[in-house]
Amino acid sequence: MNWDDARIFVALHRERTLRAAARALDIDQATVGRRLAALEHTLGATLFLRTSNGYELTPVGKIAIRAAEAMEQSAHDLVRHTQGVDKRLAGEVKLSTTDALAQEFVMPAIERLHMKHPDVSVMLDTTTQVLNLAKREADIAIRTVKPRNPDLLARRVASWEVGLFASPDYLRRHGEPVPGERFAGHDLVVYQPYFAKARVPEFLGEPLTDGRIVARLNTNLTLRAALRAGLGISPLPVPMAERDGLVRIWPDHSNDAPYEIWLVTHQDLRHTARIRVTIDEIVLAFDR
């Protein structure tokens, strides 16, 4: 059977609609429908039921999806194993990180990489979504959480103290908050993913109970921009905040846990030349 048909089958199972599957595969919707029909004809079986909630697997489809996903994994393994012995300093490197880390660390690394190895091309994905390295959604990821997958190699490239910061203009207008007063009379900017998970939201152990939350932001870059604009107070990794010209409040207070940055790749790719030199430049950027 045609692997492309199986790939479409897997995508439709995950995305639930023809349109979403087409978008995920970067093909047109008609092609998805046509290839699914061809696969069902080849197998002599109906793989999906068309429902109001999208495409649902039939009992036969549930059996077939396991084999199709195994084919998908074998295809990813084939790419990783062959690329793992590639000694050429040429080709594409898929890199995933956040917008803030990309702007301040990855871009300088890419610049140096290009000067030394102009035939290496970087495809950069800046997102807070964790991409799957095992499925080659990325070759290298720069994350703030160490992965648990034993097939992934993780190297800590930074461990930064987290302090409380505001702009000089904000502090001229409002002064510093008083420890123990739960930010009474102060404006706060919060990182929304943390705020949504926290049972009792706090900054450096101080509850936010009496403060005014003026903005909830979902990236480090926009949060820092909000602080530079004087919107309020928020915790930040110390080196980033100092680079932005922000003022540290309560210098003797910090988060119990540091802000860690991990560089991650799949162990099968560790000897690939273009991956190795890209990693070297990224590590150098953080060392500097």
User: CA-to-CA distance for 103 and 222, rounded, in angstroms?
Assistant: 12
In which residue are the tokens 């035939």 written? 119
Q: pLDDT (tens digit, 9 = 90+) per residue, 59-93?
A: 988 988 988 888 877 777 666 666 555 577 889 99
Domain that holds residue 193: 162-257
Question: 263 pLDDT band (50/70/90 cuts)?
Answer: very high
Q: Could you tell me how many residues make up the chain?
A: 288
Cα-based torsion angle of the residue sequence 267, 269, 270, 275 in order, rounded to the nearest 10 degrees: -140
- Contact 271/162 with Cβ under 8 angstroms? no
**Lowest mean per-residue pLDDT among 20-24, 103-107, 127-131, 249-253:** 127-131
Task: Return the CATH number at 210.
Answer: 3.40.190.10
Q: Are 263 and 142 in contact (CB under 8 A)?
A: yes
> What pLDDT sits at residue 39?
87
Domain limit, last residue, from 31, 50, 83: 83
- 97 in the same domain as 44: no
Q: Identify the DSSP state of 268.
A: G
At 254 the three-state DSSP class reads coil
Q: Lowest-pLDDT range, 73-82, 93-102, 225-234?
A: 73-82
Claim to verify: residue 174 and residue 226 sit in the same structural domain: yes
| Dihedral sign of CA atoms 223, 224, 228, 233 in order | positive
Rounded Cα–Cα distance for residues 189 and 226 (Å): 7
User: Are both 74 and 144 inside the same structural domain?
Assistant: no
Q: Based on the fold, state whether residues 130 and 264 are members of the same structural domain.
A: yes
Query: Do residue 173 and residue 244 come from a single domain?
Result: yes
Strand partners, 125: 96
Tell me, yes or no, whether 155 and 268 share the same domain.
Answer: yes
Identify the burial level of 66 via C-beta atoms within 10 angstroms of its C-beta, where 0-12 means exposed, 13-18 middle and 19 or more buried.
Answer: exposed
The model carries a pTM of 0.68
Instruction: Return the higher-pLDDT residue of 82 and 207.
Output: 207
Q: Give yes or no: residues 26 and 66 share one domain.
A: yes
Split into its structural domains, the chain has a count of 3
Looking up residue 11, the CATH number of its domain turns out to be: 1.10.10.10
- Asked which of 83, 100, 120 is the last residue of a domain, the reply is 83
From its phi and psi, is residue 27 left (phi > 0), alpha (psi between -120 and 50) or beta?
Answer: beta
- 122 lies in the same domain as 242: no
Q: Which residue, 83, 112, 138, sits at the end of a domain? A: 83
Residue 67 tokens, joined: 């084999």
Question: What pLDDT score was predicted for residue 148?
Answer: 85
Same structural domain for residues 125 and 265?
yes
**Whether residue 51 is found in the same domain as residue 194:** no
Do 166 and 156 belong to one domain? no
Closest CA to 45 of 37, 55, 33, 53: 37
Residues 22 and 45 in one domain: yes
Nearest to 283 by CA among 112, 137, 160, 29: 112
